[in-house]
Amino acid sequence: MKKILSILPLAFSFSLYAQNAKIRVDVDRTIATIDPRIYGVFMEPIHFNGRRMGLPDTVNFNTLYGTLYDPSSSLADKNGFRNDYIDAMKELKVSNMRWPGGNYVMGYNWQDGIGPKEQRPSRINLAWGGTDNNHVGTDEWIQLNKSIGSENIVCVNLGLGTINDAVNWVEYCNYKKGTYYCGVCGYPLFSSTAKFDSHTGWPSFYQPIKGNSVKYIIDQSYGMSRTEVACARCGSHLGHVFDDGPAPTHKRYCMNGDVLDFEEGK
Helix (H, G, I), strand (E, B) or coil at 212: coil
Q: Is 231 a catalytic residue?
A: no
Contacts of 118 (CB under 8 A, 6+ apart): none
Contacts of 219 (CB under 8 A, 6+ apart): 225, 226, 227, 228, 240
Amino acid letter, 198: S
Whether the Cβ atoms of residue 64 and residue 140 lie closer than 8 Å to each other: no
In the set 155, 182, 231, 254, the catalytic residue is 254
How is 76-104 classified by DSSP, letter by letter? B-TTSBBHHHHHHHHHTT--EEEES-SGG
Helix (H) or strand (E) holding 53: helix 50-53
Q: Where are the beta strands (DSSP E) in the chain?
A: 41-42, 47-49, 60-62, 96-99, 123-124, 131-132, 151-154, 178-182, 188-191, 195-196, 204-205, 214-219, 226-231, 237-242, 252-255, 260-264
So which residues are the catalytic ones? 254
